[in-house]
Structure 1
Amino acid sequence: MRPSPRLLAAPATAPFRPGQRAPALALLPPIPLYRRLLRIHRKKLGPEERVFGDTYLKSEFRRHKDVENPLHIVGFLSEWQQYGQQLEGEDWKEQKIEPALLDRMSDQQVGQMYELMLAIQKRGRDSVDEEEEGPILRAIEEATKSGSDKS
């Protein structure tokens, strides 16, 4: 039996919809998952985001290197694998944390998320200040130069 061209052209997996969890893939072992995530960072993130993401990724994998509880290992690997799938999609920057996930976090994890949010907001304010500062400083320099030229 010959395969029809229509069947060959059909996607192998269902399309990913925003707000929908990606279909579960077979769980990757730690080292291939780690390498895959670093490759995704290289392709999808900007320079600043990549430095932050790579540093965090490396520290988390190092911190969980000696974990022996199978439930923790499966949970850790599945969450990182889901993270990689989200980064490969296009709408990951606008996504919000699911309330169910937030409820499962410890107080320490919620505190870390809050500190991360504050750092991102501060970084955003600093970059806006730098953007606004440039024209203002040039205007001040021009005004002082023209003022000193008149004297």
Structure 2
Amino acid sequence: MRPTLRLLASAMPSTNAMSPGPMALLPPIYLYRRLFRAHRRHLPSEMRLLGDEYIKAEFRAHRDVENPVHLIGFLTEWQLYAQKIEGDAWAGEKLDQGKISKMSDEQLGQLYELMRAIQKRGTEGQGSDS
């Protein structure tokens, strides 16, 4: 992410109706660190490992984004995620249908693979307890 886009991202308020008010976006490096801290403090070790790897992969994949709208969306969603993790509001929450309808086929495939991996871990964990 170029420095000018970082400044733009940090200056743009969120327009999400679900947030408690205008939220100033954190610059990418601060948000990246905040996400890891939130995982360290609020997630069990197995979930933390999976989440940390996902954060690293996503931020690497979006390192060279030049579209300001895409960048603002990326940072906004990660900041909302951090707030949910820090507030323990994530447990049992379902995905928003509006966000699912906007996903590409590739994103839906990744979501499906993640769901299958979680289900597989759950069945393996239950089988080893017997």
TM-score by length of 1: 0.72
Which segments of 5 or more consecutive residues in structure 2 lack a partner in the other structure? 1-16
Q: Tell me if 1:21 matches 2:15.
A: no
Q: Report the equivalent of 1:135.
A: none
What's the CA shift string for 1:20-63, capped at 9, x where partnerless?
83324101100000001110000001111111111100110011
- Native 8 Å contact 2:31 2:79 kept in 1: yes
User: Aligned to 1:92, what secondary structure does the other structure show?
Assistant: coil
TM superposition score normalised by structure 2: 0.83
The separation in 2 between residues aligned to 1:64 and 1:30, in whole angstroms, is 10
What is the alpha-carbon distance in structure 1 between the residues aligned to residue 111 and residue 57 of structure 2? 16
> Is contact 1:22-1:85 (8 Å) kept?
no
- In angstroms, what is the RMSD of aligned CA positions? 1.2
- Give structure 1 regions of 4+ aligned residues with deviation exceeding 2 angstroms: 20-24
Larger Rg: 1
Q: Which residue in the other structure is 1:31 paired with?
A: 29
| Higher mean C-alpha deviation, range 110-119 or range 20-29 | 20-29
Which amino acid in structure 1 is aligned with residue 120 of structure 2? K
- Secondary structure, counterpart of 1:93 in structure 2: coil
Is residue 2:56 matched to residue 1:52? no
The aligned runs of 1:69-148 (5 Å cut-off) are 69-132=67-130
